[in-house]
Structure 1
Amino acid sequence: MSDSAPEPRPGAPKGVPLGTGARRWLFRPPRRHGEVDPDRSVSFLELFYDLVYVVLVGQAAHTLAEHFTWRGTATFAVVFGLIWIAWLNGTLFYELHGREDGHTRSLIFVQMLLLSLMAVYVGHADGGDGRTLAILYAILLALLSYQWFSVYRLDRPELRRTPRRYLIVMVVGIVVMAVSVPLSADARLVVWAVFVVAWCAVECVILISWRRAPSYAVVTEPLVERFGLFIIIVLGEVVIGVVNGLTDTERGALVTTTGLLGLAVGFGFWWNYADLVARRMPRETGHSLATWIFVHLPLSMAVAAAGAGMVGLVEHAADERTPVAVSWLMGGSVAVMLVTIVVLLPTLSDYDRLPSLRTSVQTALTTAAAGALVVGWARPAPWLLALALLLLLFASWVFAFVRWLSEGSLINERPAG
Structure 2
Amino acid sequence: MTEIYTNLNNFTDSKPLLTLFPASKDYEFTAKKVFRSKKRVICCGQECVHDGYDFVRKKSFGKAKVGKQICKICGKQHHEDKSFWKKLLGQWQETITSLILTLRDSHVAWEVVQKIMGFIIPFGKTKAINLFNNTIEQFEYPQDNFLIVNYDEQHPKSGRIQKFRLTLLNYKTRVPIAEELFDNKNDETIEFFLRKHLDTEKEIVIITDCDRRYPTIFKKIWGSKVIHQKCLLHLNKLVVNDFGKNVSLQNLHNIYLMLNIFYNRDKEIRFIERLLRKFEKKIFSNASEKKDWIKEQKNKFYDYLKTLENKRRSEHKNLTQRSLPQAEKVLAELWQQRNFFPKNSKKRLEMIKFNWNYFTAFYQVESCPATNNAVENYYSTSLKTHSKKQLRTDKGIINHMKLSALKRIQNFSTPKQTLLQIYGLIRLLAT
Report the TM-score when normalising by structure 2.
Answer: 0.24
More strand by share: 2
Relative contact order higher in (CA < 8 Å, ≥ 6 apart)? 2
More helix by share: 1
Bigger Rg over Cα: 2
